Amino acid sequence: MTLLLAVVIGVLYAGGLYMMLRRSLGTLIIGLALLSHAANLLIFTVSGLARGRPPLLPDNGVPAGPVSDPLPQALILTAIVIGFGVLAFTLTLMHRTYQITGSEDIDELRSTE
């Protein structure tokens, strides 16, 4: 499964990067979202996959058996929320840029004027 997920991550990265390399504002957003998924999945996969053992403790507080690693999950949880914040901000900025410049070609945004 690690191999399969590694391929999924590779495809997500390649897709995200390709979308960001295009000159259009709209594809930049899509690319950003894809990259964010790719990064989250990367952390998740690298920390070791364990099928169906959530890091929840029974009532007595002592784990019944091995559970999946809670720390990467906490990291990813943070990353998902921050990724959303960044995406929302970028999206608004892009929209505003398009409104002002009337173009969605990033190559036309070279000057700071």
Partner 1 sequence: MLTAVASGFILAILVALVRRISSPAAGWFLAALPACLAAYFSSQASRVWRGGPILEHHTWAPGMGVALDFRLDGLSLLFALLITVIGAFVLVYSGKYLRDRARLGRLYGLLLFFMASMLGLVLAGNLLLLYVFWELTSISSYLLIGFENQRAAARSAALQALLVTVLGGLCLLAGIVLLGNIGGSFEITALLAQGDAIRAHALYPAALSLILIGAFTKSAQFPFHFWLPKAMEAPTPVSAYLHAATMVKAGVYLLARLNPALGGTTAWTAALVAVGVVTMVGGAVLALNKTDLKQILAYSTVSVLGMLVFLIGLGTPLAFQAMAVYLVAHGLYKGALFLVAGAVEHETGTRDIGKLGALFKSMPVTASASVLAALSMAGLPPMLGFTGKELLYESALHAPVHAGLLTTAAVAAGALLFILAAAAGFGPFFGGGRHSGADVHEAPSALWIGPLVLATGGLVLGLAPALMNAAVRSATLAVAPAAATPVDLALFHGLSPALVLSAVSAGGGLALYSLHGRLIVAGDGLKPLAQWGPASIYDRAVGALNRIAVTQTGLLQTGYLRHYMQMVIVTTVALVIAGIVRWAALPQMVGPVGPQFHEAVLAVAIIIATIFAVRSTSRLAAVAALGVVGIGVSLIFALFGAPDLAMTQLTVESLIVILLVLVMYHLPDFGVFGPRRYRLRNLIVSAAGGITMTLLVLTAASVQYAPPISTYYVENSYTQAHGRNIVNVIITDFRALDTLGETTVVAASAAGVWAILRLRSRKGFFK
Contact 32, 16 (CB under 8 A): yes
- Binding residues for partner 1 restricted to 68-87, rule: CB under 8 A: 68-71, 73-74, 76-78, 80-87
Binding status of residue 4 toward partner 1 by CB under 8 A: yes
| Structure-block tokens of residue 70 | 């809670």
For partner 1, what does the binding mask look like between residues 87 and 106, x meaning CB under 8 A?
xxx-xxxxxx-xxx---xxx
For partner 1, what does the binding mask look like between residues 14 and 53, x meaning CB under 8 A?
xxxxxxxxxxxxxx-xx--xx--xx-xxx-xxxxxxxxxx
What's the chain's length in residues?
113
CA dist., res. 27 & res. 49, Å (int): 32
CA dist., res. 94 & res. 31, Å (int): 13
Q: Which of 77, 87, 102, 76 is nearest to 34 (CA)?
A: 87
# chain residues binding partner 1, by CB under 8 A: 92
Instruction: Tell me the closest approach of the beta carbon of residue 97 to partner 1, in angstroms.
Output: 10
Binding status of residue 113 toward partner 1 by CB under 8 A: no
